[in-house]
Amino acid sequence: MHRSHFIGNQTRVPACLIALCLAGVQWFSAPRNVWAADEKPAAVVKAFLESYCHDCHSTDSAEGEREFDSFTLPLSSVPQLITADEIIDQVTLKSMPPDDADQPTDNERLAIIKHLRSSISQARDKIQSTGGRTVMRRLSNREYQVTLATLFNRRVDTLGLTADFPKDNTSHHVDTIGESLVTSGFLLDQYFQSASRLVEARLGKPETPPKSWHFTDNFRQYEELTGSHKSVFKFKFLCLYEQPNTDTRQGGYGHIEDFLQGVPVSGLYDIEVHAQAMHRDTHYDPKIFRIDFSEPFQLAVVPGDVTKGHIHYPQAIEPILGTAIVPDDQPEWIRFRVWLEAGQTPRFIFPNGPYESRASVIATNKRYKKEFKNPKEGVSRATLLREGALPHIKIGEIKIRGPLKEPGGSKEELAVFGEQGFQSKQALDQLRAFAQRAYRRTLDDSDRQRIEAIYQKRLSQNAPPRQAALDTLKMILCSPAFLYLSEITPETESELRPFDLASRLSYALWAAPPDDALFASAQSGDLTKPAELKKQIHRLLSDDRSAEFVNGFLDSWLNLRDIGNLPPPRKAAWEYYSENLPDAMKTESRLFFTNLLKSNGSVIDFLQSDYTFVDKRLAKLYQLPEKDTLRLKDGFQRVRLAKPAQRGGLLGMASVLTVSANGVDTSPVTRGVWVSENILGVTPPPPPPPDEVPALDSNVSGATTIREKLAKHSEDKTCVVCHRNIDPLGFALETFDPTGRWRTKYPAAKGKSPQVDASGEFPSGETYQDFASFKKILVKSRQDQFTRHLIQKLLTYTTGRHMERVDQYEIDDLLHRVKKDDFGLQTMVTEVLASTIFRSR
């Protein structure tokens, strides 16, 4: 057999799947070779392997590096366990022997599966772990930022602390694997710089009384906007003409020319804007602007920094600080309270504005030129502003006041020094209390001594006491005890001690340090008791901060973080950009997962459901009836799917369909691999080298269909076995384009639009005619395989290590308990976090 016949040890097929796979088989015919009931298991297995596997997997051939001559029962090693797993998987799903070989009867399949599973069970107590433990790992960039925001009780994304950090490595898309989260000298330097920036900006800033600024003119705008604004407005108005995410970038960002220096210190600032939505009732064709004029115009504030790039172009650090609706009838004052860092200046954007203003201006000038006194084709914005009805937001005045004093002191001051603020006589106690929260455990003598030594050293260097304390704070934020999820559990103990367990639990569900209640549970020692552990798991899950778990896990499981890495062409899929569909796509998947988690809904809904969560944008993409009733202000709503055959479950979600395509076209192979890996937990072998087998051209346009190309490609014997396992998982998804739209035909090319054929056949002989019947097969005969994979993925994400073969015993037990509770997702997560695997080093 070829290497691709076997799929490694990343999946297991449960016993109940055997019956499902063999359901409907005619049992009245006598089997070709029925072994005696009292025949020894070792003899049965040996006879089966010699009859059906020896030709390809003997010592001489050993295709796929698998030889079965030395395989025997009872099982005595982990490699033998893995081999037994592989044989069960392939025989159960009828993937082996290959189609052109002699086939065993169903009785023979059942016999070998029975004996192998019995032998695996008997080996449970004999074969010990190969030492799989979580490698001491650092915080991921995501966890680092969330941790700082938690410790200081304020968002830190305005500082862009991780903007220059090396990108985290992932392993099978998971960003919590210890072995992948390497630390370099460059990263250590970045940690120090980030800690220094944060501490100085938030706690080292000078006392600054509030100041007011009022801007009424000199609203200059750059490049091609300059001339029109000078001639028509004399720079008396600041105008926004398009959303910020465009190619032309003309009027997407409104800045204050006389405030380029930004605010003097980091702090809270009140911003008032006198603004009006202009010409939302324009008689111009809405298609020109690619905007929904039934929706009120929105105004948002983002930070800008003139030292970081063009002030009227996108910048690396520009989180949305506030959003408001702009009135139509007359100008009104719109108020925001935002956090700005020292040197940042507020910029204004039009989130739901026209898409690419330059193109809309050209189209309007050309189409409506008869309406103007002095018509000019091309980019003549001045004519439209003076005589026409060009949709835009017009700002006439801007007021800024701050930094504002916070009652009781700033959040950062309270977080580090408490209600009394910095007290030189109590500085060490204050710093140690903060370090205990940062280190996520009680301090030992060496911790206390190190903190005191740094503080005293800075005092001896004539640093003022407060500055000495701030410098010590920087050291705490650069300490391995903070940067690493290091374990204080002794090496001789396999089960985590309370503080280590508390940290693992809080980072699994909140990506942040333990709160006071969890810390107290660890300090009392109660956390290691099963009842208390489950109580804390439920408490953490019910908190809004568990959104960090949902987001992080879905990014790792479904690889949602890669949405946007291969975006579609702007001209072919402008809605993808103009309506910010990537954000909507991710939100649907997150809300779906969260709903199942909160309600303990069945994980089988991931495979098939008659509902989902959409907002106006996704309802339009999916062509649901709600596209005509939902408003943007309604946000996301749970909707019942009138046509669940077209949607329903993960595989009908645009997020999955987009991340499994390349933005330009689709491929059953690419999507089939995605389904195999992320839904069924089977990682196909890599394709042969290009010099052995030419790569498959993924372009499906024109007269030649993708099926014809795949059929020709699979004529090569080195390809056929892999493709017979992969392609059926991708054919059903061909009814969706690269961004998840439903389709029945491929894009036209050379005058032809080939029909989409979404039918297929599994190696097991199960056939489907379309997307709906494909999902039915997954639910009927692959639900246990899917559930097992999801359990394994949760364990991998929350422990920071990949599962090994001997972990499968406990995974079997977890699967049993989850099935017993109707496949509930909350049950699954709770059982995973209470498992011996999660609680072990």
Could you tell me if residue 462 is inside a domain? yes
Same domain, 392 and 283: yes
* pLDDT greater than 70 at residue 471: yes
Q: CA 819, CA 797: separation in Å to the nearest integer? A: 21
Write the DSSP assignment of 627-686 as a string of letters: GGT--GGG--EEEE-S-TTTS-SGGGSHHHHHHTS-SS---HHHHHHHHHHHTS---PPP
Q: How confident is the model at residue 133 (pLDDT cuts 50, 70, 90)?
A: low
Q: What is the mean pLDDT of residues 223-233?
A: 93
Q: CA 28, CA 49: separation in Å to the nearest integer? A: 25
Q: If we measure between CA atoms, which residue out of 28, 143, 124 comes closest to residue 76?
A: 124
Q: How confident is the model at residue 584 (pLDDT cuts 50, 70, 90)?
A: very high
SS3 54: helix
Q: What is the mean pLDDT of residues 223-228?
A: 92
* pLDDT greater than 60 at residue 433: yes
Tens of pLDDT, residue by residue over 335-383, are 999 999 999 999 999 999 999 899 999 999 999 988 988 777 666 889 8
State how far Cα 153 lies from the chain centre: 24
Question: Could you tell me the maximum CA-CA distance found in the chain, to the nearest angstrom?
Answer: 101
Same domain, 117 and 161: no
Of the ranges 28-32, 54-58, 133-137, 477-481, the best mean pLDDT one: 477-481
- Nearest 5°: the CA angle 834, 837, 841 is 110
Q: CA 695, CA 700: separation in Å to the nearest integer? A: 14
SS3 753: coil
Domain span at residue 370 reads 211-402
The alpha helices in 101-175, defined as continuous H runs, are: 106-122, 141-152
Q: If we measure between CA atoms, which residue out of 508, 405, 421, 435 comes closest to residue 151?
A: 435
The alpha helices in 732-804, defined as continuous H runs, are: 771-781, 783-799
Residues 6+ apart with CB under 8 A from 73: 41, 42, 45, 115, 116, 119
Last residue of a domain, one of 369, 402, 435: 402
pTM of the model: 0.85
Could you tell me if residue 549 is inside a domain? no
Cβ atoms of 811 and 136 closer than 8 Å: no
Could you tell me if residue 354 is inside a domain? yes
Residues 6+ apart with CB under 8 A from 377: 362, 365, 366, 369
Distances in whole angstroms, Cα of residue 452 to Cα of each of 426, 443, 462, 624: 12, 13, 16, 64
Which of the two residues, 250 and 438, has the higher pLDDT score?
438
Which of the two residues, 726 and 832, has the higher pLDDT score?
832
* pLDDT greater than 60 at residue 31: no
Q: Give me the sheet containing 322-325, strands edge to edge.
A: 322-325, 298-304, 345-349
Q: CA 55, CA 807: separation in Å to the nearest integer? A: 32
Residues 6+ apart with CB under 8 A from 522: 441, 498, 499, 501, 502, 514
Same domain, 56 and 169: no
Same domain, 216 and 118: no
Cβ atoms of 328 and 296 closer than 8 Å: yes
Token look-up 């097992």 returns 788
- Determine which of 266-270, 295-299, 649-653, 742-746 has the lowest per-residue pLDDT on average: 742-746
Q: What is the mean pLDDT of residues 228-257?
A: 92
* pLDDT greater than 50 at residue 211: yes
Could you tell me if residue 545 is inside a domain? no
Same domain, 190 and 89: no
Residues 6+ apart with CB under 8 A from 733: 651, 657, 660, 666, 668, 671, 675, 758, 771
Same domain, 215 and 363: yes
Q: CA 389, CA 277: separation in Å to the nearest integer? A: 12
Could you tell me if residue 340 is inside a domain? yes
* pLDDT greater than 70 at residue 16: no
* pLDDT greater than 80 at residue 6: no
Which of the two residues, 634 and 30, has the higher pLDDT score?
634
Could you tell me if residue 265 is inside a domain? yes
Could you tell me if residue 502 is inside a domain? no
- CATH number for the domain spanning 391: value is 2.60.120.260
Residues 6+ apart with CB under 8 A from 74: 42, 119, 122, 123
Position 15 scores a pLDDT of: 38
Residues 6+ apart with CB under 8 A from 633: none
Distances in whole angstroms, Cα of residue 69 to Cα of each of 3, 76, 200, 384: 17, 15, 68, 83
Tens of pLDDT, residue by residue over 384-430, are 999 999 999 999 999 999 999 999 899 999 999 999 999 999 999 99
Same domain, 90 and 68: yes
Could you tell me if residue 648 is inside a domain? no
- Secondary-structure breakdown of the chain: helix, strand, coil percentages, each rounded to the nearest 5: 45, 10, 45
Token look-up 């099935």 returns 819
Q: CA 308, CA 347: separation in Å to the nearest integer? A: 14
User: H or E element: which one contains 480?
Assistant: helix 480-483
Same domain, 387 and 424: no
| Residue-averaged pLDDT of the chain | 87
Helix (H), strand (E) counts: the chain = 32, 12
SS3 356: coil
Last residue of a domain, one of 402, 435, 465: 402
Same domain, 344 and 370: yes
Same domain, 437 and 453: yes
Tens of pLDDT, residue by residue over 46-96, are 777 777 776 666 665 545 456 676 777 777 776 777 777 777 767 766 667
* pLDDT greater than 50 at residue 701: no
Tens of pLDDT, residue by residue over 91-101, are 766 667 766 67
Domain count, the chain: 4
Position 246 scores a pLDDT of: 82
Q: CA 633, CA 351: separation in Å to the nearest integer? A: 13
Write the DSSP assignment of 418-463 as a string of letters: -TT---GGGHHHHHHHHHHHHHTS---HHHHHHHHHHHHHHHHTT-
Same domain, 102 and 239: no
Q: CA 687, CA 675: separation in Å to the nearest integer? A: 17
Q: Is the peptide bond before 303 cis (omega within 30 degrees of 0)?
A: no
* pLDDT greater than 90 at residue 690: no
Last residue of a domain, one of 755, 781, 807: 781
What percent of the chain has a predicted confidence (pLDDT) above 70?
Answer: 85
Same domain, 270 and 308: yes
Cβ atoms of 360 and 282 closer than 8 Å: no
